[in-house]
Copies of this chain bind each other. A is one copy, B any other.
Amino acid sequence: MKGNSTKERILYAALDLFAQKGYDGVGVDLIAEKAGLKGPSLYRHYKGKEDIFNSMIEMVASHYREGFGLHPKAEELPDSMDALIADAMQRLAFTMHDDIVKKTRRIFAMEQFRSARIAELTTRYHLENLQQLYTGMFAALMDKGILKKDDPEYVALEFVSPVSLLIHMYDRQPEREKEVIEKIQKHFEHFANVYACDTRGRG
């Protein structure tokens, strides 16, 4: 269990349990036990269950913000279609297997209707941030003559959406992981065939 201070341990315990059974499915005593104390002691650190939940959300949100800060710099742009796909596959592997990211996704899926704040974060997390990242990247690749000239925002949407959707599928049916990865791989290849500059003839 990550987290050094008790406050942090509580948040990581909450993250893990809420990801398993949802907000209403977890009692405060269980969170406390996982964090190494008794239920009432939680109230020395947080105002209540809702406060624990919100604090945990803000923690993973900032964790995510940091991890996502690694937008590729100009000189790190992929310089070919193959490099683009390799880069995307690496991001995929991280997203699919990082523990915190996985739990965060599950919570967002289950609790997306709990508040406007969470709804907003969910949309950002599942769609907008990814689309924005690739919009910038594709605009640059179009300039460099690697991608065909097109509206980079919508090319990014086409690129990102199947991945996001298939990751959701993996989240709820992890036994189909292989199938998901294969389909994403094939989707990338199909994307390359359609949008790359130097590809002659398709189909």
Show the binding face of A for B, using Cβ within 8 Å: 22, 24-25, 106, 109-113, 116, 119-120, 122-123, 126-127, 148-151, 154-155, 157-158, 161-162, 164-166, 168-169, 172-173, 183, 186-187, 190-191, 194, 202-203
Q: Is the CB of A127 within 8 A of B165?
A: yes
Q: Which of B25, B123, B149, B154 contacts A187 (CB 8 A)?
A: B154
A120 CB contacts on chain B under 8 angstroms: 173
Q: Which residues of B contact A186 (CB under 8 A)?
A: 154
Are B190 and A154 neighbours in the complex by a CB distance under 8 Å? yes
Cβ-defined partner of A202 (8 Å) among B116, B150, B190:
B150
Name A's interface SS: helix
Residues of B with C-beta under 8 A to A183: 157
| 12 further interface pairs, Cβ-Cβ under 8 Å (given A110-B111, A157-B187) | A22-B24, A106-B113, A109-B109, A110-B112, A110-B113, A112-B172, A127-B166, A150-B202, A150-B203, A158-B190, A161-B161, A164-B165
Docked pose: A144 CA to B120 CA in angstroms: 43
Contact check, B157 vs A162: say whether CB atoms are below 8 A apart.
yes
Check if B22 sits within 8 Å of A127, measured CB to CB.
no
Say which residue of B22, B166, B172 sits within 8 Å of A119 (CB atoms): B172
Q: When chains A and B are docked, how far (Å) is the Cα of A112 from the Cα of B168?
A: 10
